[in-house]
Amino acid sequence: MVIVLFGVSLLTYAMIFVTPGDPARTILTQQMGGQTPSQEAVEQFRVSEGLDDPFTVQYVRWMGDVLQGDLGQSYYSDQPVTDAIAQRLPNTIILAVASMLVAIAISVPAGIASAVNPGSRIDYTAQFGALVGVSMPNFWLGYLLIIVCSLWLDVFPVAGVGGLEHLVLPAVTLGSGMAAVIARLVRTAMLDVLDAAYIRTAHSKGLRERIVIYKHALRNALVPVVTIVGLQLSYVLNGAVVVEVVFQRPGLGTLLVDAIFARDYPIVQGVTLLIGVIFVLTNLAVDLTYSRLDPRIDLGGEPT
């Protein structure tokens, strides 16, 4: 895991290093209100920020700081990157959790309903919905929802953060795409499980259909679903970038996008590293959930 994280940090750093665009020039232009900065000023900025040093030196210096919990400072404001992230992170986490909840609330019942009545009208509707959900790009759905729900119906605010009402549209936008993927997965997993002999046993005990499905079948079907839900978290973080821009939510996504446009490298690096860390930690959490869901998966590696 440490190696993976190390790789992530190296890659993000390297990618930014080779990205075209001179941060010194861009930043100074902006600081001077659009005037082209003098060559000396540019040189001076490069030296003071250490931009002239070779890649390895820069990387090691940055890594050393990161290990001490210091992600550097934004080129623009004197705000440390950690502060900037800490300010925005809660918004993104709330959005991620809310959209996950939306996704699960839609997809699990839909997937189960499809699997229980394969070939029925419910199944086709759910599958068609899933197809639409997968195919629809986030930013487009986001704007559609703004037009319909905010401008026409005036139910939810267009943009910004605040109460729950600000969260609904972004969460639905982000959650629906995920719901589509998860619903298909739940359907396949459930169809598989419903054929199992232990489901017949559960029926033969005289158990109600609903309990057979929600207890005996669902629990088994959840194992593959949890994996994907875990992996989908990266999708949420990706999607958050777009959705936050669409809805003007101050979160990690907007922070990242703004920083990229402004060539504010310390922030870009900090955010990317954080996303990498979150991703790795989620995967760990998924592995731990496995063994809770399916006792046969023993982390010690005992064969079943």
Please give the residue ranges that form the binding site for other proteins (CB under 8 A). Answer: 196-198, 200-211, 214-216, 219-220, 293-296, 304
Q: Which is nearer to other proteins, 73 or 220 (CB)?
A: 220
Q: Which is nearer to other proteins, 217 or 242 (CB)?
A: 217
The CB-side HSE value for 99 (13 A sphere, CA atoms) comes to 31
Q: How far separated are the first and last CA of the chain, in Å rounded?
A: 26
Q: Which is nearer to other proteins, 159 or 223 (CB)?
A: 223
Q: Which is nearer to other proteins, 38 or 117 (CB)?
A: 117
Measured from the CB of residue 185, what is the shortest distance to other proteins in angstroms?
A: 18
Q: Which is nearer to other proteins, 61 or 200 (CB)?
A: 200
Measured from the CB of residue 121, what is the shortest distance to other proteins in angstroms?
A: 19
Measured from the CB of residue 195, what is the shortest distance to other proteins in angstroms?
A: 9
Q: Do 138 and 174 meet the contact criterion of CB atoms below 8 Å apart?
A: yes
Q: Which is nearer to other proteins, 61 or 219 (CB)?
A: 219
Query: Residue 288 to residues 5, 101, 236, 283, 304: CA-CA distances in angstroms?
Result: 19, 20, 21, 9, 18
Q: Which is nearer to other proteins, 197 or 299 (CB)?
A: 197
Q: Which is nearer to other proteins, 181 or 212 (CB)?
A: 212
Measured from the CB of residue 218, what is the shortest distance to other proteins in angstroms?
A: 9
What are all long-range contacts of 79-84, with beta carbons under 8 Å and residues at least 24 apart? 81/266, 81/267, 81/269, 81/270, 82/270, 84/255, 84/267, 84/270
Measured from the CB of residue 124, what is the shortest distance to other proteins in angstroms?
A: 19
Measured from the CB of residue 128, what is the shortest distance to other proteins in angstroms?
A: 24
Measured from the CB of residue 293, what is the shortest distance to other proteins in angstroms?
A: 7
Measured from the CB of residue 127, what is the shortest distance to other proteins in angstroms?
A: 20
